[in-house]
Chains A and B, each alone.
Chain A
């Protein structure tokens, strides 16, 4: 179970849109529509933002959206806001009730 690959950092100006990629393999991201995304502010626990590739939990802004193509999943944040500055992690089901997380992406709002 190797970690999913994410860019180390992504930045954007307020109001812009950014996209974070999450690349796995045909054994995890490519095989299951069970990719989730988590936002983590410093010193806080992760928060679920997207599940099952593109579904948003109740209470999560519709500025957050997810998609998947082949072995790569993506998280898009539109209308970037200062409060979106955080670390973001993807996670994929990897079969046999196991999971693998991504390497994490630091989002900076310029």
Chain B
């Protein structure tokens, strides 16, 4: 049974750095072809893909947010971490992590965590 769960602060101040952790079970990120992505959704708005890390520790980022994002993994802990620097109120969103089994889609999602950026 595949599960993913996001965790992190519910509230961050403008200019601060956000750190989110995705803890997963039911699969291994060391399996060839396996990937985990971060995706966000501002309230009432569309989904936005942010970043992906693959089984080989290669990392890929949204062009528009590349300078602010860092994705990493701890295979032994079954965790993927996303950091986003210089947070702004427009970054207020529900942040999801999702599994991508190498077929160009996201087949399992976490329940999401709402992050509000406000002073």
Contact = CB atoms under 8 A, between A and B. Distances in A.
Please indicate whether A and B come from the same complex rather than being unrelated chains: yes
Interface of A: 1, 3, 32, 34, 36, 38, 45-48, 51-52, 57, 89, 91, 93, 96-104
A34 B48 CA distance: 17
A97 B49 contact: no
Contacts of B111: 45
B62 A52 contact: no
Interface residues of B, number: 26
Interface of B: 35, 37, 39, 45-49, 52, 54, 58, 60-64, 96, 103-107, 109-112
B104 A93 contact: yes
A99 B37 contact: yes
Nearest to A101: B47
B32 to A, nearest CB: 15
Given A38-B47, A102-B46, 5 more contacts: A1-B63, A3-B48, A46-B47, A51-B103, A97-B60
A46 B46 contact: no
Contacts of B45: 104
A101 B49 contact: yes
Given A3-B46, A89-B46, A98 B62 contact: yes
B44 to A, nearest CB: 10
